[in-house]
Amino acid sequence: MIDHISFGVADLARARRFYDAALAPLGYRYLRGSETTAGYGDGDAAFWIVAAARPVAPDPASGLHVCFRAPSRAAVEAFYRAALDAGGCGNGAPGERDYEPGYYAAFVIDPDGYRIEAYCGTVPDTTISA
């Protein structure tokens, strides 16, 4: 449904160091970019960070966050450790959540204040039949 998403960041080099480290345990890596952009993914760049003159101010009460799919619980845990080591702040240690059965996730805040999540688990099929 969504082809890509981008976040405006205040310091692209700092954000790249963070996302290079945090996304690696999930199997995502820097794929392409320029002096003002960096695109991450596992085949095509679907998550972008962009140097911005006026990044959107993070608002912890807004509910806005981006969630990255993880291949395993171990990857969720490695994401959390790598994100903290790379300058992020914890916003929910790895663990099961009561959102759905089997939902295992961790939450961090990146250096620009944006909330990001890594998730793995079994989410029930919510396909609507006609």
Give per-residue pLDDT as tens, 45-65.
999 999 999 999 988 889 899
* Pick among 3.30.420.40, 3.10.180.10, 3.90.180.10, 3.40.190.10: CATH of 5-120: 3.10.180.10
Residue 60's pLDDT is what? 82
**pLDDT above 90 (res 116):** yes
Contact (Cβ atoms closer than 8 angstroms) between residue 118 and residue 80: yes
**pTM score, whole prediction:** 0.90
DSSP 25: G
Residue 58's pLDDT is what? 87
Kindly give the residue spans of alpha helices, DSSP state H, lying in the chain. Answer: 12-23, 73-85
Separation of alpha carbons 123 and 116, rounded Å: 19
Q: How confident is the model at residue 86 (pLDDT cuts 50, 70, 90)?
A: very high
Separation of alpha carbons 16 and 54, rounded Å: 18
**DSSP helix/strand/coil, 45:** strand
Separation of alpha carbons 76 and 117, rounded Å: 9
The domain limits of the chain are 5-120
